[in-house]
Structure 1
Amino acid sequence: MKSISYDIDPGGDVELILKKPNKQNIVPEGPTFHGNPVDPEFPNSPCLGRYQVFSELYPDGENENPDVEVRMRVSSRHLIFASRTFRAMLEGPWKEENSSSRPIRQISAENWDAFALAIVMDSIHGRHHEIPTQITDGLLARIATIVDYYECRQAMHLNYEVWAHGKTLPSEPCNAALLWLHVSWVFHDENRFRIAARLFVRFSIGAYDFETNDLPVSGVLDLLDGIRRTLINTVSEVLDSLEQHMIDEDGCDYFKDPDCTAIVLGILVRERHIITNLDPPLVAPFDGYSLHKILRRISRFRTPLSPHNDLGQPYEKDDDEEEHPCTIQN
């Protein structure tokens, strides 16, 4: 088997062996939104400088995985200091692989992107020179999966700040937004995570919406889908409460006009009847329905021609008036 050597610490006491490089598929498979075309494959940035040794793993920019392994010489002291996972491997009672009887201990890894792993190892060892300052979203996501697994976020924090600077998140759900959801979660980027999370809470139609493949984001999606279900259920409860309120009240809140209440109640009952007959049914867990779709449907409930205006006079539509004072939306 062919081997690629990458010495981060030539005198290091650990050899990190990456088997089956670039086998991890972090690109999700999901539906298109609002007629958007299928998302790109999110290739890595080009391997430049000292990273050119990995170029043969990426012919034509693709993340290929030929029959080759990557051997990185690293320092156990740096790994132990930066990563709780490596600390457990090298100090714990279940020390991985070889005992201390051999001068160089070996640690095996599989499937990671070789370029991404090299960048993480370089950063852990303080070799920041030649680490690229601008990288693609795909490479950043591949780095994030490694950082998450080895629990070495703090060692990568400054690099992340440089990479994320000026990055603009998508404005609607897509594979790029899902990658950023994972990246911002791993690096504790609250602002970007809030933006990405809001997209999936508002526009996602259920936890099955995406096939995440090897992107470890399903747990976060489950949490966000729980919020989506809770909010849709809250909307349904608010409509229940509104309907009961109009049944019990003597008249509208403006002038206690029973005719006004009867008209609006009739529209609400009719619109809710239409909703209950949707396919699929609008019942928990509300799969197939986004919060955005439900709120938009409510915003389009008919506006009644009620018998009065907000001055107590017979209602006549004013061109400057945005909506009638007595509506379901109000």
Structure 2
Amino acid sequence: MDATPPKMLVFDEDGDTLIILPYITSASEAADDQKSDPNVEQNGEKRPAEDALEKNEVRMKVSKKHMMLASRRAQKIFLGPWKETESRGTDGLHHWLFEPVFTPEAFEIVLNIIHGQTRGVPDQIGLATLADIAALVDDLQCEDAVWFIVKSWIRLLQEPLPHTICEDLVRWILISSVFDEPSIFQDCTKVAIQSTCKQLDTTGLPIRPSIIDGIEVERIKILDALMVDLEDQRDGLSRGELGCNLECRSSYLGALIQGMHSTGILPILDVNSPTNDPYEAPHRGLRVSSAMKAIREMPFPDVYITNIYSSRPSFHTCNLRGSLWQHLDEVEAEIMGLNLNEFMPK
């Protein structure tokens, strides 16, 4: 069977540059091609040997001048000692080969904007496509060229921001970081800080490593603050610095230690010890939201104290649990997302 020729898109009939974009699709997505494929069973499923990823290619004829005006990366490539500055092959065009990490749809929309082909630019797009465009725009460094239309797309998106870890949350973090949306960026990174139990999975999207590291640093900082307070309470009760008598201290200390065990944060690891890996500390494998919920739900017994003035024990009002909750409220009130200005490219 003859190989299918690469798809060709022309953005400038007189263009002098050929962008070559390999892209990966699953075999199951190429339904039309499977109809005549001898390796497809009668039930429509591929045989195991062929049930794999397929690589396709699209070629795009563009204007080097337009690309250089819009894209800082194109300027560096075509003005520098790179192989893309030389004509290659019999077509006499500059060949610019990309890695198979971008979608043809995102490339087509961005190149239509760059070349002024407004009829090919949709009025509204979905979140997944916008994230693909953000990834490409960040790579080409052409934010200014697409700025106005992208801001319109963002305004038209009616989807609420996610409140849990999901692919849409990661997409919003990428979009807001590329297109300078500090409020969206702060809200989404706050959710990530509260809801991850390890470094954020980017699901393959090219979010800047400094952003991923920033989310993890804040997550660990909050968990460490929670654990320091629990340790202070535990040690203060053990040394007799908290509580008002033996019954009070014994009851609260026992309940606190059992609660710390039940949340999975014991044994406490000294993160400042040179012999310990700080990331092995049990509490650092928790979600901030889960840890705070578990601490709030720690069961503390009602304590009754006997005294010489009454034959009946009286309810003890030394509310150590209340002081623990107060600290949780203070920590929770201070949880903020990341400041986008600190992660913008210099």
TM over 0.5: yes
Structure 2 counterpart of 1:155, from 134, 145, 162 = 145
**Match in the other structure for 1:38:** none
- d(CA) in 2 for partners of 1:295, 1:277: 12
**What is the SS of the residue equivalent to 2:18?**
strand
Structure 1 counterpart of 2:325, from 313, 321, 329 = 329
Larger displacement relative to structure 2 (85-94 or 281-290): 281-290
Larger displacement relative to structure 2 (152-161 or 1-10): 1-10
**Contact kept? 2:174, 2:206, Cα under 8 Å:** yes
Alignment partner of 1:284 is 2:281:
yes
> Given the superposition, is the C-alpha separation of residues 301 and 74 from structure 1 closer, same or farther in structure 2, using an over 3 Å criterion?
same
**Match in the other structure for 2:219:** 228
For residue 106 of structure 1, what is the amino acid of its counterpart? H
Deviation, 1:307, is: 4.5
What pairs up with 1:137-148 in 2 under 5 angstroms?
137-148=127-138
> Given the superposition, is the C-alpha separation of residues 266 and 316 from structure 1 closer, same or farther in structure 2, using an over 3 Å criterion?
closer
**Contact kept? 1:306, 1:326, Cα under 8 Å:** no
**What is the SS of the residue equivalent to 2:6?**
strand
- d(CA) in 1 for partners of 2:56, 2:198: 40
**Match in the other structure for 2:166:** 174
**Contact kept? 2:25, 2:53, Cα under 8 Å:** no
Structure 2 counterpart of 1:243, from 234, 242, 245 = 234
For residues 230-251 of structure 1, what are the alpha-carbon distances to aligned partners after superposition, in whole Å with 9 as ceiling and x for unaligned? 2212211121122333445666
Deviation, 1:275, is: 4.3
**Match in the other structure for 1:201:** 193
> Given the superposition, is the C-alpha separation of residues 67 and 181 from structure 1 closer, same or farther in structure 2, using an over 3 Å criterion?
closer
**Contact kept? 1:229, 1:284, Cα under 8 Å:** no
* Aligned residue pairs, count: 280
- d(CA) in 1 for partners of 2:196, 2:257: 27
For residues 183-242 of structure 1, what are the alpha-carbon distances to aligned partners after superposition, in whole Å with 9 as ceiling and x for unaligned? 2222222222222212221111212x7473x32237233432232222212211121122
> Given the superposition, is the C-alpha separation of residues 325 and 66 from structure 1 closer, same or farther in structure 2, using an over 3 Å criterion?
closer
Q: Which consecutive unaligned segments of at least 5 residues does structure 2 have?
A: 36-51, 270-278, 306-312, 327-346
Larger displacement relative to structure 2 (82-91 or 150-159): 150-159
**What is the SS of the residue equivalent to 2:145?**
helix
**Contact kept? 1:153, 1:187, Cα under 8 Å:** yes
**Match in the other structure for 2:114:** 124
Percent of residue pairs identical: 23
> Given the superposition, is the C-alpha separation of residues 201 and 251 from structure 1 closer, same or farther in structure 2, using an over 3 Å criterion?
closer
Alignment partner of 1:185 is 2:177:
yes
**What is the SS of the residue equivalent to 2:165?**
coil
Structure 1 counterpart of 2:11, from 8, 14, 27 = 8
For residue 164 of structure 1, what is the amino acid of its counterpart? I
Instruction: Normalising by structure 2, report the TM-score.
Output: 0.67
Q: Which structure carries more relative contact order (alpha carbon 8 Å, separation 6+)?
A: 1
For residues 79-132 of structure 1, what are the alpha-carbon distances to aligned partners after superposition, in whole Å with 9 as ceiling and x for unaligned? 112212111111112251524998642222242311110111122233334411
- d(CA) in 2 for partners of 1:193, 1:24: 30
- d(CA) in 2 for partners of 1:132, 1:329: 51
> Given the superposition, is the C-alpha separation of residues 257 and 128 from structure 1 closer, same or farther in structure 2, using an over 3 Å criterion?
farther
Q: Which consecutive unaligned segments of at least 5 residues does structure 1 have?
A: 26-42, 44-55, 318-323
For residue 295 of structure 2, what is the amino acid of its counterpart? I
**What is the SS of the residue equivalent to 2:20?**
strand
